[in-house]
């Protein structure tokens, strides 16, 4: 089910009605939230709810064993079981076709003729998100970093909580399960603020991403032509905005909906296009994934504890796998590799060049960072390397062929929206939506809020999926 659909509005209204009735106990309300979460997921494909059940059951069982078992070998067995089941699902459903394709390619290049039947595997929505979330639980229990969930119901709700089930934020058990122990109710202020965040998220998705930017990005990347330099830049910049507004929109909706229930989810974005450098970017972009990769991949790989070579290797491996997490294609791996290289180069430069960051150098570095991030978005968005190469060669004036794809207004619109986005990110880089709202008058906030509702109403996008659902 999509947040930007009438079905979801009806669904949320029913959930809120039962959540705020007096005739249900807290336990019953949690049961209702769990059932609602399965319905939320099952309305897309009911059979794939079984995967959620298996993941929940295996990790609950493994988690309990990890708590009470003293024998280290047995504890390792339960951890490995949990990882194998979760990563096994991910490998089969998300990477099955990719692995097969590459196996066939390797076999064929070795001179052996092999053409298997296509597997036609359905990618379960949000599998990467809930798999990572539930894996963090067993890994943390293995490392004795968290307490186990008190009841199966609390744990099942942690795995399945519908606001963040299919596209995050990826929440750690200590941050979410513990909130289920005592009855939660949003106060009036929280409820209204949650409604505002839901509106803001829908505005970012439906107006900014789908209405203002997606068309230009799709037109250029799907044209099959070598674009004119201006079109190539407009298409890439449009995608950089589209993916931000799409994903930040989803996260904002998720945080808002949870808040309407009195549950607090962590921020997932902090004005990432104002980042000064790439480590700063990853502290601002998809924060719940970057911290997950840091805690469960980069640090276990050695992090910065074993010298410079190991550190670089850990960075590259983390970012390569981070790229692969996004999609089963080599373009995503390359995207991850580029980010890994950027992070390494940044470390090298930081060690050798020392200067104070002020407003002038800061904005210069932020622009530079944004420029280089756009290069990576080309690989993220392109369907294959030939499209990426055509885009990049046009962006750097290396093509003689010039195909004009976008109208003057479309180009102007993209540059205007992206320019304003960058300025907003820069000006707000050390603040939050909440702090800005608190500084504004009620009338100004109400006017902006009303304008967003109006623009959502007249956008009439036909329920486009959020980009990150496929990951």
Partner 1 sequence: MKLKLAFIVAIFVSLISITFWELYWRNQEKIPDFDDDKGLWAEQRKKVEKAGSSSTVLIGSSRVLFDIQLDVWEEKTGQLPIMLASPGSTPLPVLRDIVDNTSFNGTLIVGVTPGIFFSTTYPEAPPWKRAQTKVDHFKKRTYAQKLNHLLSLPFQENFVFVSGSEEKWSDDIDLGSLLSRISIGDRFKSLEPPFYNFSYSRIDRNTRMSERTVNDTTFANTIKKVWFFFGSQSPPPDKVSTIAFFNDYAAKFQRRGGKIILLRCPSSGALKQGENAMLPRQHFWDSLVVSSGLRSYHFEDYETLKNFECPEWSHLSGPDADKFTANLIEILQKDKILANLKK
* Token output for 14: 């029913």
Prior bond of 121 cis (ω within 30°): no
CB of 100 to partner 1, least distance (A): 22
* Maximum CA extent, the chain: 72
Q: Which of 108, 383, 407, 431 binds partner 1 (CB under 8 A)?
A: 407
Out of 228, 286, 326, 339, which one is annotated catalytic? 326
C-alpha–C-alpha distance, residues 247 and 263, integer Å: 20
Segment interacting with partner 1 (CB under 8 A) among 138-146, 155-163, 188-196, 363-371:
188-196
Q: Is 188 in the site for partner 1 (CB under 8 A)?
A: yes
Q: Which of 15, 146, 406, 467 binds partner 1 (CB under 8 A)?
A: 406
C-alpha–C-alpha distance, residues 228 and 110, integer Å: 39
Q: Is 303 in the site for partner 1 (CB under 8 A)?
A: no
CB of 209 to partner 1, least distance (A): 11
Question: How far is residue 72 from each of residues 57, 59, 146, 148, 457, measured CA to CA in Å?
Answer: 22, 18, 17, 18, 58
Q: Is 159 in the site for partner 1 (CB under 8 A)?
A: no
Could you please report the per-residue DSSP string of 134-189?
A: HHHHHHHHHTT-SPPPSSHHHHHHHHH-GGGTTT-----HHHHGGGGSS-----HH
Could you please report the per-residue DSSP string of 361-378?
A: HHHHHHHHHHHHHHHHHH
Considering beta carbons, is residue 71 or 460 the nearer one to partner 1?
460
Segment interacting with partner 1 (CB under 8 A) among 60-68, 157-165, 170-178, 206-214:
206-214
Q: Is 46 in the site for partner 1 (CB under 8 A)?
A: yes
- Touching partner 1, residues 207-236 (CB under 8 A): 207, 210-212, 215
Question: How far is residue 104 from each of residues 11, 111, 152, 203, 327, measured CA to CA in Å?
Answer: 45, 11, 43, 44, 19
Confirm if 455 and 207 have CB atoms less than 8 A apart. yes
Considering beta carbons, is residue 127 or 366 the nearer one to partner 1?
127
CB of 46 to partner 1, least distance (A): 7
Q: Is 404 in the site for partner 1 (CB under 8 A)?
A: yes
Radius of gyration of the chain, Cα coordinates, nearest whole angstrom: 23
Segment interacting with partner 1 (CB under 8 A) among 18-26, 166-174, 259-267, 440-448:
440-448
Cβ partners under 8 Å of residue 283, min gap 6 = 270, 275, 290
Q: Is 121 in the site for partner 1 (CB under 8 A)?
A: no
C-alpha–C-alpha distance, residues 210 and 230, integer Å: 21
Q: Is 193 in the site for partner 1 (CB under 8 A)?
A: yes
Q: Is 2 in the site for partner 1 (CB under 8 A)?
A: yes
Q: Is 451 in the site for partner 1 (CB under 8 A)?
A: yes
* Token output for 196: 């505002």
Q: Which of 16, 91, 107, 192 binds partner 1 (CB under 8 A)?
A: 192
Segment interacting with partner 1 (CB under 8 A) among 90-98, 160-168, 354-362, 441-449:
441-449
Residue 425 a catalytic site member? no
* Token output for 290: 């970057």
* Token output for 141: 């229990």
CB of 131 to partner 1, least distance (A): 21
* Token output for 153: 């119901």
Cβ partners under 8 Å of residue 424, min gap 6 = 271
Segment interacting with partner 1 (CB under 8 A) among 159-167, 173-181, 347-355, 448-456:
448-456
Q: Is 253 in the site for partner 1 (CB under 8 A)?
A: no
Q: Is 413 in the site for partner 1 (CB under 8 A)?
A: yes
Q: Is 463 in the site for partner 1 (CB under 8 A)?
A: yes
CB of 147 to partner 1, least distance (A): 35
C-alpha–C-alpha distance, residues 271 and 277, integer Å: 13
Fill in the DSSP letter of residue 225: S
Cβ partners under 8 Å of residue 463, min gap 6 = 2, 4, 5
**Mask: binding to partner 1, 13-42, rule CB under 8 A, as x and -?**
-----------------------------x
Q: Is 458 in the site for partner 1 (CB under 8 A)?
A: yes
Taking phi over 0 as left and psi of -120 to 50 as alpha, with beta for the rest, 232 belongs to: alpha
Using CB under 8 A as the binding criterion, the count of chain residues that bind partner 1 stands at 53
Q: Residues with catalytic annotation?
A: 326
Which residues contact partner 1 (rule: CB under 8 A)? 1-2, 5-7, 10, 42-46, 188-189, 192-193, 195-196, 199, 207, 210-212, 215, 404-413, 437-438, 442-443, 445-447, 449-451, 453-455, 457-463
């Amino acid at each position: 089910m999509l947040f930007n659909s009438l079905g979801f509005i009806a669904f949320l209204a029913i959930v809120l009605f039962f959540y705020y009735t007096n005739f249900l106990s807290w336990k019953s309300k949690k049961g209702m939230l769990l059932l609602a979460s399965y319905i939320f997921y099952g309305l897309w494909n009911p059979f794939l709810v079984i995967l959620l059940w298996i993941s929940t059951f295996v990790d609950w069982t493994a988690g309990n064993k990890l708590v009470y078992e003293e024998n280290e070998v047995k504890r390792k067995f339960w951890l490995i079981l949990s990882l194998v089941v979760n990563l096994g699902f991910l490998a089969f459903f998300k990477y099955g076709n990719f692995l097969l394709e590459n196996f066939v390619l390797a076999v064929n290049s070795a001179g052996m003729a092999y053409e298997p039947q296509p597997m036609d595997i359905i990618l379960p929505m949000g599998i990467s998100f809930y798999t990572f979330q539930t894996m963090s639980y067993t890994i943390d229990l293995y490392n004795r970093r968290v307490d186990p969930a008190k009841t199966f119901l609390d744990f099942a709700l942690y795995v399945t909580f519908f606001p963040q089930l299919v596209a995050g934020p990826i929440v750690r058990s200590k941050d979410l399960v513990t909130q289920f122990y005592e009855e939660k109710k949003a106060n009036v202020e929280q409820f209204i603020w949650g409604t505002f965040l839901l509106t803001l998220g829908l505005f970012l998705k439906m107006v900014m991403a789908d209405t203002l930017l997606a068309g230009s990005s799709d037109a250029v990347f799907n044209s099959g032509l070598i674009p004119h330099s201006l079109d190539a830049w407009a298409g890439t910049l449009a995608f950089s905005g589209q993916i931000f507004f799409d994903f930040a929109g989803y996260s904002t909706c998720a945080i808002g909906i949870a808040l309407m229930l009195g549950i607090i989810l962590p921020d997932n974005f902090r004005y990432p296009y104002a980042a000064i450098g790439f480590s700063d970017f990853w502290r601002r972009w998809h924060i719940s994934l970057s911290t997950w990769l840091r805690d469960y991949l980069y640090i276990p790989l050695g992090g910065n504890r074993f010298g410079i070579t190991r550190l670089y290797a850990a960075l590259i491996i983390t970012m390569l796998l981070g790229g692969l997490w996004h999609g089963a294609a080599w373009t995503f791996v390359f995207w991850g590799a580029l980010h890994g290289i950027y992070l390494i180069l940044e470390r090298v430069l930081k060690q050798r060049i020392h200067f104070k960051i002020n407003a002038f150098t800061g904005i210069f570095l932020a622009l530079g960072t944004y420029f280089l991030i756009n290069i990576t978005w080309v690989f993220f968005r392109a369907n294959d390397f030939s499209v990426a190469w055509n885009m990049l060669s046009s962006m750097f004036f290396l093509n003689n062929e010039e195909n004009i794809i976008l109208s003057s207004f479309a180009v102007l619109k993209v540059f205007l929206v992206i320019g304003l986005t960058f300025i907003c990110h820069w000006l707000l880089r050390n603040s939050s939506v909440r702090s800005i709202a608190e500084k504004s008058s009620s009338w100004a906030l109400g006017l902006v809020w009303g304008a967003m509702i109006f623009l959502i109403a007249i956008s009439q996008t036909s329920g486009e999926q959020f980009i990150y659902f496929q990951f």
